[in-house]
Structure 1
Amino acid sequence: MAPIAQTLVHESNGNATVGAMGKTKSGKQLKVRSYPKFDHLEDEREYRKQHLAAAYRVFADRGFDEGVAGHISVRDPILTDHFWLNPLSTHFSLIRVSDLILVNEDGDVVIGEEPINAAAFAIHSEIHKARPDVHAACHAHSVYGKAWSVFGKELDMVTQDSLRFWKDHTVFGSFGGVVLDREEGRKIAQCLGGGKAVILQNHGLLTVGETVDAAAFWFMSLDKTCHAQLLVDAAAQGSDLKKTFIPEEEARSSFAQVGTPEKGWLAFQPYYDEVMAKTNGSFLK
């Protein structure tokens, strides 16, 4: 996790995050939140679990739950071929740190007393194996993500927020039923490549990140971008309205402002704060 921590610290001291407004009028440096530094890996493990539990709560608030479908994983910083997941039948809105399940790369439960979603293991295990840079992955059957996935198309770069996914998302263009086979998970990981998101045909969305915070924010933003795309296409259908696409040069420069791992981490922090305030920190137990 050192690379993103270093990047965040560097950006908070320079202009990349705070830009021309990095100091007060009197010249005092403004404080920008950054990924914390840890003296012990056990502390980072606890941090990752806390933010994983919060991400589930955030997903529940936004209606990304649907029965036992959907899952978010985070890599363990000590046992790096293990990852934490939700128990199969606990609602996202109720998940606490103590509920989280640790599984190894063979799908064996190492810590916890409940089973996990088999599809979660099939997908997440292969992504974590294929992408050492990825420490978290999110998958859920959100309404707008499902709706857009039916078309099997990448998103148009027509809004500023869509630029978070400029040349950084793909489409897994086949539906093979419920993902229970690790071979299907390998195919999804291969399709994802080095990107942050994949649209799963007739299925839903999947996002990844160097932190669970970034992966969760990318998911929320991707679902909203699918919503905007559906509205734009509906408005344009049968009318003389024409879509204006964002030029390549502007897309490239804007991606550097809104689509980097540190920006994803930072963008999730207000949602973490919201969960803390709503629950009085009860999810940390």
Structure 2
Amino acid sequence: MNETVQAVLEELATGCRVLHAEGHADMTLGHLGWRDPIGRGVWVKRSGIGLGEVIGAADFVLLDFDGNRLAGEGRIHKEWPIHTEILRERPDIDVVGHTHPFHATAFSALDIELEAVTNEAAYLGLPVARFDDTRGLIDTPELGRQLAAALGRQSVALMRNHGVLFVGTRISDAVLTGIFLERACRSQLQILATGKPFVATPLVELASKKAQILDPNLIRTFWDFYKRNTESGMYS
């Protein structure tokens, strides 16, 4: 493992711990993956440990696009085809995450659209994608391809009665997208629980709102904030 790969995997480990702290923890379930920079496949969090227990580069396994181990130790998540098939289909992204955050998973059971009732949803690209082909594990390449087709060119997908999928060009983009999705779903569920009418940002205004309040500089600032909190032990 060269120093560049080592450094990125250390940041990927930080991303796992941030997700754990921000509502994506589910025992030992959930995983982040990163496209190998020289095209060998994908580095995926090893199975058997929770997102909050990912310490560093040694907690990732390198798989080729057929799911064969090329490097790393530890068990392999059954849902490795999520990463391989999404990355095959989306050369524009390098990071894939799949988790089971409580509010977004609950929201996936509803036949209603996620709306921009708070700022976070403006970052996601609405309407969000939906995956309804199975409620079970994405444990075959065929199911991975179906999930990739459902995602299309979007950054997130709600997986019915199961969890969420989120992607990005960088670790920071993907992790923050996962965090914003969970927050947006939580906000809308809480509003729906009141039984009162509500108003959301119109779809035609979302692009300008994202450019205004969630610009790349602010996203980098947010990511630095989460990394500082993780490194300082605030989440422990």
Question: How does the TM-score come out when normalised to structure 2?
Answer: 0.89
The partner residue of 1:132 within 76, 91, 102 is 91
Instruction: Please tell me the residue identity of whatever aligns with 1:243.
Output: F
Match of 1:61 in 2: 21
Closer/same/farther in 2, CA of residues 93 and 166 from structure 1, 3 Å limit: closer
The partner residue of 1:231 within 183, 190, 193 is 190
1:93 equivalent in alignment to 2:52: yes
Render the CA deviation track for 1:217-261: whole Å, top value 9, x for unaligned: 1101100111001001111x2xxx321122344322112345667
Task: Work out the CA distance in 1 between the residues paired with 2:47 and 2:110.
Answer: 30
Match of 1:194 in 2: 153
Larger Rg: 1
Mean Cα displacement is larger for which, 174-183 or 125-134? 174-183
Instruction: Please tell me the residue identity of whatever aligns with 1:267.
Output: F
Percent identity at matched positions? Answer: 26
C-alpha contact 2:131 2:150 (8 A) present in aligned 1: yes
Equivalent residue runs for 1:1-285 within 5 Å: 42-78=2-38, 80-95=39-54, 96-119=56-79, 121-167=80-126, 169-235=128-194, 237=195, 241-258=196-213, 264-278=219-233
Task: Work out the CA distance in 1 between the residues paired with 2:218 and 2:37.
Answer: 21
* CA RMSD in angstroms, aligned pairs only: 2.2
Task: Work out the CA distance in 2 between the residues paired with 1:257 and 1:44.
Answer: 33
Runs of at least 4 residues of structure 1 off by over 3 A?
41-44, 257-266
C-alpha contact 1:217 1:265 (8 A) present in aligned 2: no
Question: How does the TM-score come out when normalised to structure 1?
Answer: 0.75
Mean Cα displacement is larger for which, 90-99 or 123-132? 90-99
Structure 2 segments unaligned to the other structure (5+ residues): none
Structure 1 segments unaligned to the other structure (5+ residues): 1-40, 280-285
Mean Cα displacement is larger for which, 179-188 or 149-158? 149-158
